[in-house]
Amino acid sequence: MLEVTTDWYLTLSAILFSIGFFGMMIRRNALIMFMCIELMLNAVNLTFISASRHFGQIDGQVAVFFVLVVAAAEVVVGLAIIVSIFRKQSSASVDVLNLSRG
Amino acid sequence: MFEVILFLIPSSLIIIGALIVIFAKNPVHNAMGLVMTLVSIAIIYITLNATFVAMVQMLVYAGAVMTLFLFVIMMIGVDKKEQSKESIKGQTFLVSGVFLILISTLVYVAISSEFRWDLWFDAVEFTVEGTPQLIAGTLFTSWIFPFEIISILLIVATAAAIALAYDTQRKKEDA
């Protein structure tokens, strides 16, 4: 009988994290890159929750809240930066951002 | 069997949504793919007995964060002509190689029995229900110090976002 074990959730989380990494590396639109960061953070949250069930501990679910708050703060600040850059450069592409000669 | 179906349908939706996020050309479509992924992850949380976290995931991620994303897409416009030329030579080829190494390593770690991640704790038979009472009881006792710090972080982030997005140029024109 096929049974859903913790390994299945961990595998799904690994695949999701890798897809997020891939997107982060190949896209140049700063907004899309932020979405890929969200994908990776969600993969980590999935790992926390499945470990929480595996060990019967609630702390994993509490840790997800902290990841959630940090993700929300990061999105707020990041999108504000994108908007203020867009006012100057009228583009959201990261290739245009060479103000500090990077 | 029902349990397996309840895992496979949301997980395939998660993968499809993630692929839409990284391959769609229109940013609004990317955002919709991300919504699909986040909602499916909430369903997975429910199957993992984390009901409260699933609700918070729906409210905060699929609700607030995605609204913020769509709002910014509205503000800066849909930029379809993302230049496809590589600024770094062979970028896609290199990233594909790193991607393959990363995904094979992570999946191997996840499924191999050599990596004993239950070496320190034993897997338990009983399941822990992620009810609001249980989570709050842990959050406000043993996690109270991180909780206070994270509240300061939220205030700082809000203030920083206002300071960053504030249009000083327009202020001068108005005056």
A76/B68 CB distance under 8 A: yes
What is residue B33's predicted lDDT score, i.e. its pLDDT?
94
- Based on the number of CB atoms within 10 Å of its own CB, is B148 exposed (0-12), middle (13-18) or buried (19 or more)? exposed
> How many Å apart are CA B107 and CA A18, to the nearest integer?
10
Same domain, B105 and B155: no
**CA B120 to centroid of chain Cα atoms:** 28
Same domain, B136 and B172: yes
A4/B73 CB distance under 8 A: no
- Please identify, among B11, B44, B78, the residue that sits at the C-terminal boundary of a domain: B78
- B52-106 per-position pLDDT tens digit: 999 999 999 888 999 999 998 888 876 666 655 666 777 888 889 999 999 998 8
In this prediction, residues B114-140 reach a mean pLDDT of: 73
Measured between beta carbons, the chain B residues lying within 8 angstroms of A19 are: 15, 18-19, 21-22
- Select from A6, A14, A69 the Cβ nearest to the Cβ of B103: A14
Assign B27 a pLDDT band (cuts: 50, 70, 90).
confident
> How many Å apart are CA B84 and CA B113, to the nearest integer?
42
Q: Which domain holds residue B62?
A: 1-78
**Would you say residue B7 lies in a domain?**
yes
Same domain, B108 and B158: no
**Would you say residue B115 lies in a domain?**
yes
Same domain, B2 and B74: yes
What is residue B113's predicted lDDT score, i.e. its pLDDT?
61
Same domain, B132 and B118: no
Same domain, B110 and B49: no
> How many Å apart are CA B165 and CA B163, to the nearest integer?
6
**Would you say residue B84 lies in a domain?**
no
What is residue B80's predicted lDDT score, i.e. its pLDDT?
60
Same domain, B102 and B68: no
DSSP-derived 3-state class of residue B85: coil
What's the sign of the alpha-carbon dihedral B173, B168, A82, A65? Answer: negative
Same domain, B4 and B54: yes
Angle at A23 between CA B31 and CA B24, to 5 degrees: 45
Measured between beta carbons, the chain B residues lying within 8 angstroms of A102 are: none
Q: Are A6 and A54 in contact (CB under 8 A)?
A: yes
Per-residue pLDDT for B114 more than 70? Answer: no
**CA B175 to centroid of chain Cα atoms:** 42
**Would you say residue B168 lies in a domain?**
yes
B54's CB contacts (< 8 A; 6+ apart) are B42, B43, B45, B46
- Supply A94's token pair: 């990261």
> How many Å apart are CA B62 and CA A91, to the nearest integer?
26
- Select from A4, A36, A82 the Cβ nearest to the Cβ of B7: A4
Assign B174 a pLDDT band (cuts: 50, 70, 90).
low
Q: How far is CA B20 from CA A15, A46, A82, B3, B68, in A?
A: 14, 20, 22, 26, 19
Same domain, B121 and B132: no
Per-residue pLDDT for B19 more than 90? Answer: yes
Please name the residue of chain A whose CA is at the shortest distance from the CA of residue B73.
Answer: A31
B21/A79 CB distance under 8 A: no
Q: What is the ipTM of this complex?
A: 0.90
**Closest chain B C-alpha to A68 CA, distance in angstroms:** 8
> How high is the mean pLDDT in each 10-residue block of chain A (102 residues)?
81 94 88 92 94 86 93 91 82 72 63
DSSP-derived 3-state class of residue B90: coil
Same domain, B6 and B26: yes
**Closest chain A C-alpha to B175 CA, distance in angstroms:** 20
The total number of structural domains that make up chain B? 3
Torsion angle defined by CA atoms of residues A40, A43, A48 and A50, in that order, rounded to the nearest 10 degrees: -170
